[in-house]
Amino acid sequence: MSLWKSIKGELIDIIEWLDDSHSSLVWRFPRHDNEIKNGAKLVVREGQSAVFVNEGQLADVFPPGTYTLETANLPILSTLKGWKYGFDSPFKAEVYFVSTRQFTDLKWGTKNPVMLRDPEFGPVRIRAFGTYAMRAKDPADIIREIVGTNAHFTTDDITNQLRNLVVSRFVDNVAESKLAVLDLAANYDEFGSQVKEKIQPEFEAYGLELTTLLIENISLPPAVEEALDKRTSMGVIGNLGAYTQFQAANAMEQAAQNPGGMASGGMGMGMGFAMANQMGQAMAQPAQPFNPAATGATPPPPPAPVAYHVAVNGQTTGPYDLNTLRQQAAQGQFTPDSVVWKQGMSGWIRAGDVTELQQVFQAMPPPPPPPPPAP
């Protein structure tokens, strides 16, 4: 056996890539003495592409399938090499496998708070974070633009740059929207779609495709969030005076249930009297008039006046409010025996049997005294 046949028999004749790292984007096939045997088998699985690079120049790109590497199957590579040593000679070419599956759950987020002008709160700082998914769209561009001669290229080698692109375009989009911070949560999907559309060409320049971009959270600094929580708590509490009385009553109940503590003996009695005194003072204070301008609330509409219809000589008269009925009662035109009806009654009722109308008759003056006898 000649020396050449011995070497030829040692050359690798199956070229394939099995990857279980879940983060490898490009992997270069290790070559035996930088040579691939003419007639070798190339196995490209689903979710992969194979790129041939000859002496620094891209030769061919293979989609999923099994190929026999012969001159007839490699027209571009054949032209580049010229096959000076015959068609059975081994050729030197780098084989790069590119993963074309989707890489999901890639993180993005603002490293530092971003200053914005909020229409409600004024200048505020926000943070945002989320996830995105991408995949290889053009294996040749990936080799040209970002891989170069790296033997193993993972998503970690490019995500920092992609993260900066996402954050920059996201901040620009949120600032241009001029939405209030409290309204941003209702527009997560819209912002995600707009940012994805804006940065898609920049991903494609690297040979990549941005398939999904999600915004998970937009948050304010802790101090601002704490102030908002207090503001929300005040809105939930409502009447602060009633809430104070409720808290004082709870404190008295807890003290009474702890006979071994401070509530025992004279000290407990003193505290109880003090709490009771405070509650009495709070309840004795006159109610403050409702001021819509101070609370920012809109007062409810005034109640509709009560009106009754009165049956007179078989005819329906009215409706009359209570003041009018009181005047008619004083003039003797409206008596407890009059029959009345108002909205909600099932039928006509004697006026003296209506509780609400008893006050009308109570205000009637007694009959005048008889005139004195003539002298």
C-alpha neighbours within 13 Å on the C-beta side of residue 109: 14
Give residue 27's pLDDT. 94
**pLDDT tens digit sequence for 122-138:** 888 999 999 999 999 99
CB 98: neighbour CB atoms within 10 A? 25
Give residue 82's pLDDT. 47
CB 360: neighbour CB atoms within 10 A? 23
Partners of 57 in the beta sheet? Answer: 54
Domain 308-362: CATH architecture, name and number where available? 2-Layer Sandwich (3.30)
CA distance 40 to 48: 18
Q: Render the burial of 19-53: b for 16+ CB within 10 Å, e for the rest.
A: eeeeebbbbbbebeeebbbbebebbbeeebbbbbb
Those residues whose C-beta lies under 8 Å from the C-beta of residue 361, and which sit 6 or more positions away, are: 329, 335, 336, 351, 352
2.30.30.190, 2.60.40.420, 3.30.200.20, 3.30.479.30: which CATH number matches 103-223? 3.30.479.30
Would you call 13 helix, strand, or coil by DSSP?
coil
- Measured CA to CA in angstroms, residue 231 lies from 106, 237, 242, 294 at distances of 36, 10, 18, 15
Please count the residues of the chain.
375
Rg of the chain over CA atoms, in angstroms? 45
CA angle 133, 137, 138 (to 5 degrees): 150
Those residues whose C-beta lies under 8 Å from the C-beta of residue 169, and which sit 6 or more positions away, are: 195, 198, 199
Those residues whose C-beta lies under 8 Å from the C-beta of residue 316, and which sit 6 or more positions away, are: 309, 310
Give residue 140's pLDDT. 92
**pLDDT tens digit sequence for 65-119:** 998 877 555 655 544 454 444 444 566 778 899 999 999 999 999 988 888 888 8
Partners of 59 in the beta sheet? Answer: none
- Measured CA to CA in angstroms, residue 152 lies from 25, 48, 60, 99, 134 at distances of 8, 15, 19, 12, 18
C-alpha neighbours within 13 Å on the C-beta side of residue 254: 7
Rounded mean pLDDT for each run of 10 residues along the chain, 375 residues in total: 46 79 90 69 93 82 88 54 48 86 93 87 90 94 88 91 92 89 89 92 94 92 80 66 69 68 50 56 56 59 73 80 79 80 79 76 64 70
Domain extents in the chain:
3-99, 103-223, 308-362
CB 80: neighbour CB atoms within 10 A? 18
